[in-house]
Structure 1
Amino acid sequence: MSVPLRFASPTDNSRPHGSHRYDVFGPKIQRQLALFGRDALDAWTLLEADPDVVAYCERPLSLPDLKRKRVVDFWVCRKEREEFIFLLRPSELASRLDHPSSIPAFRAWAASSNVEPAFVDPNDIARQKLLLSNWESFLCDLSAFGRYVPKALSDQVLKALPSFKTLTELEQHFAEEDPVLLRVAVVSLLHQGRAICSTLGSETFSSRTVIEAKS
């Protein structure tokens, strides 16, 4: 889906002191991006995993009227709305005075721009360990092989899902296909929200994991 992007590239690529840099490829936005710190990496992983997210941009702007610089972590375009995501720092979690919502100029700007602020505790994301682990693996597959999967193969896999619900069953049914591309076809269906897997948050994805077409 092609949408006009309010934000297409970060306004600030400076590395915060002491943070680790992660260079990743975003399948939804079809470009490389640099993420700083594990919190940002985990949040990005869930944005890519969420089929309701159409597009996003990391560090789209800095907040006005602050003595200490504070960037918005992500702008997110969902099917029905836009969001500014703030991954709350320890000081922001500890004190309401440090919370981004305490900045009147920003609240007014966000309201006039029809962008909804979302304040996220990174600890809530980090607790979703299996979901993050599964999607980190999926995103590596999509980044490396997604371009090589014919749409026709994904469509055929989707049609076969009512009868063949695990990778093992699909591999047997599509015996002539490259098993790597077949796995990536399944992953692409999950990524697009055309297929679902209810156990990604509770079990490591395997050849026996049940995948279903979205009803």
Structure 2
Amino acid sequence: MQSEQRSSHLSSRSPASAWLSAQLPNSVKLELERSAHRFETFSPKINRRLTFYRRCALDQWILIESDPEIRTFCERPGFVQFRDQPCLADSWVSYADRQELVILPTPLVDVDAEPATLEDGIAIRVVQTAQLTASRVWIDNWRRMLPSIVTTRRLLQQSLLHAIHQFTATPRQLQSIEQEFSGVDQALVRASVFWLLHAGLVRAPQLRTDTLSSSTLFEAMEGCS
């Protein structure tokens, strides 16, 4: 595997591309030994449970889940012809203006699989181990924040979300936000902050370099309301 990130485009057209262009793909189920590692989680972005079988796949999902520009995704969407062999794509992701397939290091190869045919413009992006390592702080922070979003997703009030968003028009530390809304269940206040970050309505650049703490700054994104 080469060290740099690579993108390529598959150019042939076929009705088989419908699983990517016309509808959401279905996740490929793997038949593995009972002793195989399994990572169970829940995605707020697509509102369903997920199962991963490699730590790097779990980490890549967190990067997908935490990217507000990604509208939807599917894990293990199918096999594609890549580097002259049928490889299982680890993820299909959809942005407002494009789609891409993500392949992680040491992809699963099945010589008997029938690769899907992709439409023009669907990129295959190879994620290297070094890229995941470089995002370790961000990934670990989201591993702490996502459970809060999931467990409170049916309890968050639009009025509280709006008030916190307005309050963070000026950068605010997490502890300052909690103090401002001290009359509200603090678990809901914190989860609301994390939900706003997940939705791309606030930003917190510190989370890419520093561990989440009460002093982490959150700031409303300009033009978002």
Structure 1 length as normaliser, TM-score?
0.82
Which secondary structure does the structure 2 equivalent of 1:34 belong to?
Answer: strand
Is residue 12 of structure 1 aligned with residue 23 of structure 2? no
What is the Cα deviation at residue 109 of structure 1? 2.5
Question: Residue 105 of structure 2 contacts residue 129 of structure 2 at CA under 8 Å; is this kept in 1?
Answer: yes
Equivalent residue for 2:196? 189
The RMSD of aligned alpha carbons is: 2.8
Q: Which consecutive residues of structure 2, in runs of 5 or more, have no partner in the other structure?
A: 1-20
Equivalent residue for 1:157? 164
The structure whose residues are more often helix, as a share, is: 1
What is the Cα deviation at residue 192 of structure 1? 0.5
Structure 2 counterpart of 1:109, one-letter code: T
Structure 1 counterpart of 2:175, one-letter code: T
- From 43, 50, 56, the counterpart of 1:26: 43
Equivalent residue for 2:67? 50
For each residue in 1:21-47, what CA deviation from the matched residue of structure 2 results, as whole angstroms up to 9, or x when unmatched? 101000100000101110100000000
Question: Residue 75 of structure 1 contacts residue 85 of structure 1 at CA under 8 Å; is this kept in 2?
Answer: yes
For each residue in 1:59-90, what CA deviation from the matched residue of structure 2 results, as whole angstroms up to 9, or x when unmatched? 11123599976311000011221111111218
- From 186, 192, 206, the counterpart of 1:179: 186
| In 1, Cα distance between equivalents of 2:22 and 2:167 | 35
Of structures 1 and 2, the one scoring higher in RCO (CA 8 A, sep 6+) is 2
What is the Cα deviation at residue 183 of structure 1? 0.3
- From 183, 196, 199, the counterpart of 2:206: 199
The 1:164–1:123 alpha-carbon spacing in structure 2 relative to 1, beyond 3 Å, is closer
| In 2, Cα distance between equivalents of 1:88 and 1:45 | 16
Which secondary structure does the structure 2 equivalent of 1:155 belong to?
Answer: helix
Identity %: 27
Equivalent residue for 1:124? 131
Equivalent residue for 1:109? 117
Is residue 144 of structure 1 aligned with residue 151 of structure 2? yes
The structure whose residues are more often strand, as a share, is: 2
- Moved >4 Å (runs of 4+): 16-19, 64-69
Structure 2 counterpart of 1:167, one-letter code: L
For each residue in 1:85-113, what CA deviation from the matched residue of structure 2 results, as whole angstroms up to 9, or x when unmatched? 111218x9xxxxx9xxxxxx96x932x25
Structure 2 length as normaliser, TM-score?
0.78
The 1:42–1:5 alpha-carbon spacing in structure 2 relative to 1, beyond 3 Å, is farther
Is residue 80 of structure 1 aligned with residue 97 of structure 2? yes
What is the Cα deviation at residue 195 of structure 1? 0.1
